[in-house]
Amino acid sequence: MTFKYVLDSHAWIEYFKGTLSGEKAKYFLETQECITPAIVVAELSYKYSTNNEDFEKQLNFILGKSSIIDLNSELALSAGKIKKFVRKKYKNNFGLADAIILATARKINAKVVTGDHHFKLLKNVEFLE
């Protein structure tokens, strides 16, 4: 049985680095239906360009291995509420990109695959350690 998983920037970075956490992310890519929010593509593009590295090969791989979900008004409204809730409940610096990723996962009834500590206490998260 396959499930849906939303990969965040952390999962993709670790995958491309070939780390132990990346090997765990690889499992989801090879055996499950994976989704990547468009905001993750933006974060990865920024990271690679900041390091003066080409992102084209990685982007093509992401496009081939996962479905890209664009941000729309429904997800944006949900993300704003999620950000407020998580910051208040867990007293952490949960960012807007993280909230968009979580809103995407909730919208499609999926789990987030990440190693980002901001997600550590949240439900429906496959935490890479």
87-98 pLDDT, tens digit each: 999 988 999 999
pTM given for the model: 0.94
Number of domains forming the structure of the chain: 1
For residues 69 and 36, give the distance between their C-alpha atoms in angstroms, rounded to a whole number. Answer: 6
Domain of 102?
4-127
Residue 1 binned pLDDT confidence (cut-offs 50, 70, 90): low
**DSSP character string of 23-80:** HHHHHHHHHSEEEEEHHHHHHHHHHHHHTT---HHHHHHHHHHSEEE---HHHHHHHH
Say which CATH number the domain at 87 has: 3.40.50.1010
Model confidence at 36: pLDDT above 80: yes
